[in-house]
A = this chain, B = another copy of it.
Amino acid sequence: MQQSSYSSFHPPQRKLMGPGPSDVNPRILEALSRPTIGHLDPLFIGMMDELKNLLRYTFQTENEVTLPISAPGSAGMECCFANLVEPGDKVIVCCNGAFGGRMKENVIRCGGEAIIVDDPWGRAVDPAKVEAALKANPDACILAFVHAETSTGALSDAEALTKLAHEYDCLTIVDAVTSLAGVPLKVDEWELDAVYSGTQKCLSCIPGLSPVTFNERAMAKVKNRQSKVQSWFLDLNLMLGYWDGEGKRAYHHTAPINPLYGLHEALCILYSEGLENSWDRHRAQHNDLKAGLERMGLELSVPEAERLPQLNAVIIPEGVDDSTVRNLLLTDYNLEIGTGLGDSAGKLWRIGLMGYSANSGNVLYCLSALETVLNKHSN
């Protein structure tokens, strides 16, 4: 079973233009390798405070409860549902892609009842259907939806959906995994109640952390729960003793020190670029990519008004084999692009332009490599 020896793993230098992880800025990779210090070290705690402020900037919020969960985006999702959904709660879940389905699973596992609003994959959530569901379920207390569907490349109107939810006395849980820093996301202005994201998309940090933010309305529900949060690890009340303890930080779990160095560095880079500039850069690179794809006769699957700049779902031309192309791109060009999820596997490519990957070098490289491989393929 065991070999006589094992060697260090030396990964190649890929260009990551799939649905995430995206290319990581070398400044962030260097930050990861800085000396580990203790999770209760006063210098580390000072860094945590700065990190929370930087996250507030990134989320455009003044929410006190704004912190990175010590686990990937799926855990951030679970943190929102486990803290906000109590057994018996009725939750309206918008399903227009893979991650809506995961939200539904979370509701059920928290003992809640999920009311599903279906929309076609590749389209935005339809506010009219949501309003009908809210009207039909006056006892619903939460509306959950995905802002930017990573599985399809569709952007929904988080502001409009939240406005509707509030008219019907529902809180919102918003998946902002792929939207954060890639398209406008204004937590306070749009009054989003609970939002989770990931680090490996438009923040260009490594995967493994999940920034979340909860406003006072959401925290009131968490604090007035009748039952304990079913997850000890994700219980916000306990976590805040460490992240928000005034003066004294209570030990909850050992924070992932070095990944947090990386996230701090990623947010410093974003802060100095400026959020608006980051949004504009994603949009500009998307326009260039789209123009190049169209010159090659390729089409995007999402209607223009609902398209994410940072995740481009490209229709695979008839007769072209998905995995042959992606394997050639990976092995001959060190370029990773993604395939579709679920029904769209083999039918769509997902080309990410996220964070550090959203630059003209990557766009030109991707277009050339794809064109070369497609030409070889059709010969």
Contacts and interface: CB of A to CB of B under 8 A. Distances in A.
Interface string A92-116: 0000000000100110111000000
A70 B71 contact: yes
Contacts of A21: 36, 38-39, 254, 257
Interface string A1-38: 11101111111111010101101100101111111111
B14 A267 contact: no
Interface stretch (A216-224, A229-237, A288-296, A367-375): A229-237
A50 to B, nearest CB: 6
Contacts of A208: 70, 208, 254, 256-259
Given A20-B254, A252-B74, A256-B207, A34 B6 contact: no
Given A34-B10, A268-B7, A233 B47 contact: no
B75 A271 contact: no
Contacts of A14: 35, 37-38, 41
Contact of A38 (B232, B336, B341): B336
A191 interface: no
Given A12-B37, A50-B6, A72 B198 contact: no
A62 interface: yes
Interface in A226-269: 228-233, 251-259, 261-262, 264-265, 267-268
A148 to B, nearest CB: 15
B207 A257 contact: yes
Interface size class of A (residues with CB under 8 A): 35 or more
Nearest to A79: B233
A182 interface: no
16 contacts: A2-B56, A8-B31, A8-B265, A11-B37, A11-B47, A12-B37, A14-B35, A21-B36, A21-B257, A24-B35, A72-B255, A75-B253, A78-B232, A109-B231, A206-B259, A230-B231
Interface of A: 1-3, 5-14, 16, 18, 20-21, 23-24, 27, 29-39, 41-44, 47, 50, 53-54, 56-57, 62, 70-75, 77-78, 82, 102, 105-106, 108-110, 198, 200, 206-208, 228-233, 251-259, 261-262, 264-265, 267-268, 271-272, 330, 336, 341
